[in-house]
Amino acid sequence: MKVLFISSEIFPFAKSGGLGDVAASLPKALANYCDITSIMPLYTKIDTKKHNIIPTGLSFDFVVANIHYYFEVYQSQNILFLKDHNNLFNRSEMYGDFEDNDIRFGIFSYAVLEYIKASGLHYDILHINDWQSALIATLAKEHYFLSGKVVFTIHNLAYQGIFSKDSIDRLALKWDYFTPAVMEYHDNINLLKSAIAQSDIVTTVSPTYAKEIQTHQFGCDLENFITDNSYKLEGILNGIDYDEFSPNIDNNILYKYDSGNIEAKKANKRVLLEALFLHDENKPLFIFIGRFTAQKGIDQIIAALHILQYMPINIAILGSGEENYNHLLASLSGKYDNVSITIGYDEALARKLYASGDFLYMPSLYEPCGLNQMIAMRYGTIPIVREVGGLKDSVVDINQANQSQTPKGWGVTFQNSDAHAIIDATQRALALYENEDRYLECVKYDMNFDYSWHSSAKAYLELYHKLSSGWLPQRMIPTFEIPSGYSIDTLKTIAVNPKTLYTYWEVTPSLVEKYQTNYSDLKLKAFADGICIEETSLYDGNGNYYFYHEIDFKKVWTKIGFYTADGTFTTILSSNYFIAPNSKIIYAENIIWRNLDTDALLHKKFIFSHKYFYESQEYFSSGMLAKQHQRMEQSLKTFDASSTHNISKGAKS
């Protein structure tokens, strides 16, 4: 099986955080079982000589939106690098607030696919990661017609690649993708969202995060969309590369050690404390390493320092990130005798900290997986973590270790995201530190706990195999119970094939009579791009209004209404719209639960739920319900405000 693993960063060539680590270590672990190649941009900052990155001789060019792009392919072992000649990757930083980020990574996505074309190779699996390579999911299938399956891994849902809809033309994409079901997001485009829609499988980097992102708290405004797609969502816990992260081989540290020789950790600590101007090696050393961003709980750490300064501990902080935090932490540096703060990204110092620390803080507000806690455990530094995401999946509180159903590393865990929780956890950590036997037991247990890629790589491999053998996850369709006292109507707009629209209103027969008495001439109308293309009052006597219509349209929807004596049309109910016939949705269905006791049509008292059917695969979303309901209510308000419409066919709706 042939796999292409696509990432915007791979350690040691480029790394901003966990993605860089995973993009290095997961393919390395998978290489034992399948033929896997990784590919990333060749940022000009990468030292090609140092890393022995050499040209392969392969180059290709292509045109997107009338701009000519030229790429050369470089290589170092089984990692490929795409060198651009259009100033896409020659920036001071890998990621930044650049105006052309859509182009930078959109064109990278094109270039990966152009590379596949130029190389003449077939890949069974394209494994894309985060928003930077997300566009590949759409392009691979619909522009390049590749048959390989697409696996999309979300490493952090907070970064979605949201751009103005102008990017559709800038990247020569089809406007058909600009639908809520694929790429549209509050009138912008959202690349991460499009990859969720278009990939065959979506994975997150821990099982708990896969669940969390379906909730309002962690869903970054995509929770309903993700819930809709949860049938193809899986959480696989990351691992770490033990060839990279092991204190007995790590050349960044002075005194190498393992669980049989923990005394050497103390020697590392002694040297580090001196370098950081901290005192008293008998006090436990608490470390924090990470990006300075709210996600990492840095505000809570800063608040807790006011109290932690009085405790018999030392604290060493290393990180960099958002400017306001960089400044704030720089201003705190030197303020507390027992706190050292280093601003910057320093791999070697990070390793020294892991090798010297007694405890590691990770009070993240959310954490897709988190690698720091795994690295810390490997180095015998006990993690103090908030119970979220991958932290919850990888660390159990030492006091509850026996109750844990799945084996996890031992640490100190807490739930609240405030300074008190950190202070309280620090006190518990201190108590553990003072109980030397238990403390050492915990350190050794963590050092020997297996967080290598061993089992997780196998989980990915299993997915690859299943997908390449033709398996695809299927949507589950929940059934409804109709609330008592309600009848059910169904308003359907279906593109039965690219040429025919089928519009269908199925209404409880007993109500038809009543409606017809009240509203004399009920009509069912279909609209395309704002134009009424068909209307009918054809009733089959069994509760069905319907018609077929030849189509040549884009945006379609259906309305039910009636004409008043003066010939104006009053809309009672309008369906959701969808884009046909090229979009994935070929079928929109609005189910209306109608209260039998009220004159619901007039008062518009309905309960809606909505079904879309994708390429004849049934789809229902209970998660979408609230939002759709809201949208529908909004549209009903609009219809209320302008409830009279011109009678003539072809009138604008």
Q: Which is nearer to ligand ADP, 241 or 534 (CB)?
A: 241
Q: Which residues contact 28 (CB under 8 A, 6 or more apart)?
A: 241, 243, 453
Q: Is 17 in the site for ligand ADP (CB under 6 A)?
A: yes
Q: Nearest-CA neighbor of 612 among 575, 561, 560, 638?
A: 575
For the CB of residue 383, give the shortest distance to ligand ADP in the complex, in Å: 11
212 binds ligand ADP per the rule CB under 6 A: no
Give the residue, chosen from 319, 363, 389, 411, that forms a contact with ligand ADP under the rule CB under 6 A.
Answer: 319
Contacting residues for 111 by C-beta, under 8 A, at least 6 apart: 60, 62, 69, 71, 82, 84
- Pairing between strand 617-620 and 606-614? antiparallel
Closer by beta carbon to ligand ADP, 296 or else 611? 296
From 61, 347, 521, 550, residue interacting with ligand ADP (rule: CB under 6 A): 347
- Smallest distance, Å, CB 84 to ligand ADP? 25
Closer CB to ligand ADP, 319 or 380, in the complex: 319
Q: Confirm or reject binding of residue 350 to ligand ADP (CB under 6 A).
A: yes
Among 235, 370, 409, 581, binds ligand ADP (CB under 6 A): 370
What is the smallest separation between the CB atom of 622 and ligand ADP, expressed in angstroms? 31
Confirm if 288 and 342 have CB atoms less than 8 A apart: no
548 binds ligand ADP (CB under 6 A): no
Query: Of 290 and 409, which has the nearer Cβ to ligand ADP?
Result: 290
Are 234 and 183 in contact by the 8 Å Cβ rule? The answer is: no
Q: Is residue 21 near ligand ADP by the rule CB under 6 A?
A: yes
C-alpha–C-alpha distance, residues 629 and 619, integer Å: 17
Q: Measured on CA atoms in the order 432, 434, 435, 440, is the torsion positive or negative?
A: positive
Q: Does 175 bind ligand ADP (CB under 6 A)?
A: no
Residue in 4, 10, 18, 609 binding ligand ADP, rule: CB under 6 A: 18
Backbone angles phi, psi at 551, to 5 degrees: -120, 150
Segment interacting with ligand ADP (CB under 6 A) among 26-34, 284-292, 563-571, 590-598: 284-292
Structure tokens at 42: 């060749």
User: In this chain, which stretch among 87-95, 125-133, 268-276, 366-374 interacts with ligand ADP, using CB under 6 A?
Assistant: 366-374
Task: Report the nearest approach of ligand ADP to the CB of residue 366 (Å).
Answer: 10
Residue 247 structure tokens: 């204190």
Q: Assign residue 170 a region: left if phi > 0, alpha if psi is -120 to 50, beta otherwise?
A: alpha
Distance between CA 237 and CA 389 in Å, rounded?
10
Whether omega before 581 lies within 30 degrees of 0, making that bond cis, reads yes
291 binds ligand ADP (CB under 6 A): yes
In the range 414-473, which residues lie near ligand ADP by CB under 6 A?
Answer: none
Q: State yes or no: residue 14 binds ligand ADP (CB under 6 A).
A: no
Stretch that binds ligand ADP, among 28-36, 54-62, 367-375, 543-551 (CB under 6 A): 367-375
Asked if residues 241 and 454 have their Cβ atoms less than 8 Å apart, the reply is no
Half-sphere exposure of 462 (CA within 13 A, CB side): 9
Omega before residue 12 within 30° of 0, cis: yes
By CB under 6 A, the count of residues binding ligand ADP is 19
Minimum CB separation from ligand ADP for residue 333, in Å?
A: 14
Residue 92 DSSP SS3: coil
Minimum gap (Å) between residue 360 Cβ and ligand ADP: 10
Strands 359-362, 184-185: pairing kind: unpaired
Judged by CB, which is closer to ligand ADP: 375, or 419? 375
Does 290 participate in binding ligand ADP (rule CB under 6 A)?
yes
Distance in Å, CB of 282 to ligand ADP, minimum: 26
For residue 251, what is the DSSP state? Answer: T
Using rule CB under 6 A, residue 320 touches ligand ADP: yes
Q: Could you identify the residue written with the tokens 């696509």?
A: 6
Of 428, 220, 481, which Cα lies nearest the Cα of 313?
428
Q: Is 106 in the site for ligand ADP (CB under 6 A)?
A: no
Binding mask 234-273 for ligand ADP (x = CB under 6 A): ----------------------------------------
508-543 burial, b if ≥16 CB within 10 A, otherwise e?
eeebbeebeeebeebbbbbbbeeebbbbbeebeeeb
Q: Does 188 bind ligand ADP (CB under 6 A)?
A: no
Q: Which two structure tokens, joined as six digits, stand for 14?
A: 């480029």
Considering only 372, 426, 583, 653, the residue that binds ligand ADP (CB under 6 A) is 372
Choices 129-137, 303-311, 371-379, 423-431; region in contact with ligand ADP by CB under 6 A: 371-379
The residue among 155 and 283 lying less far from ligand ADP, judged by its C-beta, is 155
Looking at the Cβ atoms of 180 and 319, the one nearer to ligand ADP is: 319
CA 580 – CA 176 distance, rounded (Å) = 8
List the one residue from 135, 264, 289, 396 that touches ligand ADP (CB under 6 A).
289
Give the bridge partners for 151, in sequence order: 127, 201
CA distance 249 to 244: 8
Nearest approach, Cβ of 2 to ligand ADP (angstroms)? Answer: 28
Of the ranges 33-41, 313-321, 511-519, 531-539, which one interacts with ligand ADP (CB under 6 A)?
313-321
Q: Which residue is nearest to ligand ADP (CB)?
A: 18
CB under 6 A: which stretch of 11-19, 54-62, 608-616, 644-652 binds ligand ADP?
A: 11-19
Cβ 373 to ligand ADP, closest distance in Å? Answer: 7
Question: Are the C-beta atoms of 132 and 157 separated by less than 8 Å?
Answer: no
Residue 89 token pair:
């990757």
Residue among 124, 476, 173 nearest 182 (CA): 173
CA angle 205, 211, 213 (to 5 degrees): 80
Neighbouring residues of 88: CB distance < 8 A, sequence distance ≥ 6: 41, 100, 103, 104, 107, 108
Candidates 345, 445, 548, 614; binder of ligand ADP (CB under 6 A) is 345
Helices (H) and strands (E) in the chain, counts: 19, 31
Q: Does 383 bind ligand ADP (CB under 6 A)?
A: no
**Using CB under 6 A as the criterion, which residues of the chain lie in contact with ligand ADP when the complex forms?**
17-19, 21, 289-291, 318-320, 345-347, 350, 369-372, 375
